[in-house]
Amino acid sequence: MDLYIFGDAHRISALQNSVIDLIIDKHHVDKKTPIEEIRKIWGKFSEASPLRRLVLEMSASNGAVTLWFMRGDRSEFSKEFLFDLAIRLYELKQET
């Protein structure tokens, strides 16, 4: 994530795209969402950020959400992330 932030600060879109590609590749292998990075991403980037949209989609679609809440890890997430996640989960439910 730090490389993405660096790319954003220095307007290096190729670096940002490479980081997103790596996150997607890693997600395909281990199906994990970078939970520890969510607070940083939501604090630093707008709703339009490709990184933020990607992490939201990964969070909503991989089933880990239930595990986070069952483990009591809710304090790790900002209210804005939880709101965005609730909206996305609702949208996914409406699509089925």
Tokens found for residue 91: 């949208």
Predicted TM-score (pTM) of this structure:
0.83
CA distances for 71 relative to 29, 47, 51, 56, angstroms: 23, 27, 25, 19
- The tally of domains found in the chain comes to 1
What is the chain's pLDDT, residue by residue, as a tens digit (96 residues)? 889 999 999 999 999 999 999 999 988 888 777 777 888 899 999 999 999 999 999 888 876 665 666 666 667 778 898 899 989 989 999 987
d(CA 16, CA 21): 9
Q: How many residues does the chain have?
A: 96
